[in-house]
Structure 1
């Protein structure tokens, strides 16, 4: 079945998808406001270590770089899945979504390891304002990535069961917006939190 035939929709359906896209953009903008508040809080609190560990004591540039590489690579693989979607190639969509999931899961594993290691060293979120703001900002992003991973699994199931129908394609494109948004937020975290803290 061709992609045009698979994803052909009526004018009414198109309007419905456009309304959902608009609503999703509103959600992303509200999420951006939340992250802006978390960044502002971190910048205010980063100097409040309460005599405990400071960023240089707890951050690892190698780990942060590995997390960044995994997440940016996952954005690339999702882009390939989107290209495969418009080409009407269901098997490649499934393959690249699965690879995106594995890369995202690797990111979460590294972040969990970072958090557990910090807590084991006595640098938990209850130790200082700096650590509380750090765990809140980075943890909120990690929670979003975890939700994205669940969403990817759901979409893999839908693509497998329903094929590349117009509703499935519409949901995949919104997932793409969400996933790329998280990549942008992480680049800002890397630039605002990790690099200044280590350099």
Structure 2
């Protein structure tokens, strides 16, 4: 395996560069998935039937906390990648762990939010609008859950093997995934929650 020392470690081999390119292709498919979900949302947004609308069930305080948790986690994952590039294994692990804790906090608030919705009669079966809201939020939440376990495995690998071309490549790809989830959340925040509360 030929290592290019002029590149960051995660890009230092041909295989690593191919892995990163392949992951960008995968993210293209994820963009198509969420694009389809948002297109469905715009079709169903007024299909509330006898159920509540977004302005009746969305709570701004929960939304702000969720947004702060997820956007802060995007900052901490960036700090983790920066520490990784400086060769600071412990700092990198700590920032990745903090990212996962923030992600777990986000998921906790999302579960709480779902229970509140059900309590108010806003369920998957209530209306077309409620169905698509649950589908989009659930799909995003499932991605965050997968990211949590993926991040745990990366932390364990870095602890065991150190900062190698292989582990840094995996960690960098994970950071791209996590940033993608944050970008999707910004769209959810803007087009579902804020627009829904108007």
* TM-score normalised by structure 1 residue count: 0.93
Give, in whole Å, the separation in 2 of the partners of 1:81 and 1:8: 14
In structure 2, C-alpha distance between the alignment counterparts of 1:125 and 1:16, rounded to whole Å: 43
- Is the aligned partner of 1:182 residue 2:181? yes
Alpha-carbon distance between aligned partners in 2 of 1:123 and 1:92, rounded to the nearest angstrom: 43
Equivalent residues in 2 for 1:47-196, closer than 5 Å? 47-196=46-195
Question: Which segments of 5 or more consecutive residues in structure 1 lack a partner in the other structure?
Answer: none
Kindly state the Cα deviation for residue 43 of structure 1 after the two structures are TM-superposed: 1.1
Post-superposition CA distance 1:16-46 (Å, at most 9, x none)? 1111111111110000000000001011101
- Tell me the number of residue pairs that the alignment of Structure 1 and Structure 2 aligns: 192
How far does residue 8 in structure 1 lie from its aligned partner after superposition?
6.2
Contact 2:157 2:167 in 1 (8 A): yes
Q: Which runs of 5+ in 2 are unaligned?
A: none
User: Structure 1 residues 98, 30: CA separation in 2 closer, same or farther (over 3 Å shift)?
Assistant: same
Q: Is the 8 A contact 2:144 2:181 kept in 1?
A: yes
Aligned-CA RMSD value = 1.6
Paired residues of 2:13 and 2:165 also in contact (CA < 8 A): no
Q: Which residue of 2 aligns with 1:45?
A: 44
Runs of 4 or more consecutive aligned structure 1 residues displaced over 2 Å after TM superposition: none
